[in-house]
Amino acid sequence: MTTFNIVKAINAGLRRAMDGDPKVLIMGEDVGKLGGVFRVTDGLQKDFGEDRVIDTPLAESGIIGTAVGLALRGYRPVCEIQFDGFVFPGYDQIVSQVAKMHYRSAGRLRLPIVIRIPYGGGIGAVEHHSESPEGYFVHTPGLKVVTCADPVDAYWMIQQAIESDDPVMFFEPKRRYYEKAEVDTDGSPTLPLHAARVVREGTDATVAAYGPMVKTCLEAATAAADEGRSLEVIDLRTLAPLDLGPVIESVRRTGRLVVVHEAQRTLGVGAEVAARVTEECFYELEAPVMRVTGYDTPYPASRVEDDYLPDLDRVLDGVDRTLAH
């Protein structure tokens, strides 16, 4: 067992993938000599060379476009978008080329590209550095979208994403980057890439979250237990495709569901989860599905981001509302 934070876990996962396949490349702004703004790629250019860990110009569209060409030639590029809000200059390439090439070619061409995006708030950053843009990509057919919540998943999921023949948007919760856990690097992943998991069992209500909100929901479950309420917490992990099997199974037992995410409320991932669970569990639900989310506003200035982000109290308020029915 090795103790990693999420940064070190992704670094180790990238290193293992590069060791195992010479076609795996890393590219992005400052990923080489600097090791990335969060040091996720620290030391990789030194060990694998400038031909495999490539410092690119500040041009996200060029990064993604180049990755498309490399993937068509048999490489497996891993692109780093330095911050979540910087992905939009490359958005056209992602939704017009990366997502559609396999379908457009009737299955003859594949683009095994991983696009890593540190996302979410809670770090006191300036504008364009605290976005939650996952909904844009979940809405785009042809893309797989996943997000890790802890070092164990970070280590294994980045390798699984690189091994995938489909393009994968890999969202990393930057506010959780430096939280630690033990990782069995000699073992194997316990779940496939596109699977949700129960992280805490409970009986009174189900709470589903992903990425940075998983820890918040676990803290809420601990606080709820002190009040005699038992919450089951589920880490969705995969947003496209959604794996709602564990959620549906849980809701059929608890009769209640609260969905939590940082992104805006309207047409967010939580809305899709709520709709599909309602379709599947209509007769088992004891109360409407509740959503605890960010607000339908641009991300605010850092001095007031704590008022924007869902926190323990807002999650517990959602639980109180569903249990009141």
Query: Which helix (DSSP H) or strand (DSSP E) does residue 256 occupy?
Result: none
Q: Determine the Cα–Cα distance for residues 152 and 123; give it in Å rounded to an integer.
A: 22
Q: Determine the Cα–Cα distance for residues 262 and 303; give it in Å rounded to an integer.
A: 17
Active-site residue, 129 included? yes
Q: Letter for the amino acid at 8?
A: K
Percentages (nearest 5) of helix, strand, coil residues in the chain: 40, 20, 40
Q: Largest alpha-carbon pair distance within the chain?
A: 60
Q: Determine the Cα–Cα distance for residues 76 and 17; give it in Å rounded to an integer.
A: 10
- Look at residues 266, 261, 256 and name the one whose alpha carbon lies nearest to residue 321: 256
Find how far residue 259's CA is from the centre of its chain. Answer: 15
183 has which bridge partners? Answer: 2
| From 102, 128, 129, 261, active-site residue | 129
- Calculate ∠ Cα 169-170-172, nearest 5°: 140
Give the C-alpha distances (Å, rounded to integers) separating 184 from 21, 180, 190.
Answer: 21, 13, 11
Burial class (CB in 10 A: 0-12, 13-18, 19+), 187: exposed
Q: Determine the Cα–Cα distance for residues 227 and 221; give it in Å rounded to an integer.
A: 10
Q: Determine the Cα–Cα distance for residues 283 and 295; give it in Å rounded to an integer.
A: 30
Q: By the 8 A CB rule, do 262 and 288 touch?
A: no
Active site (catalytic) residues: 129
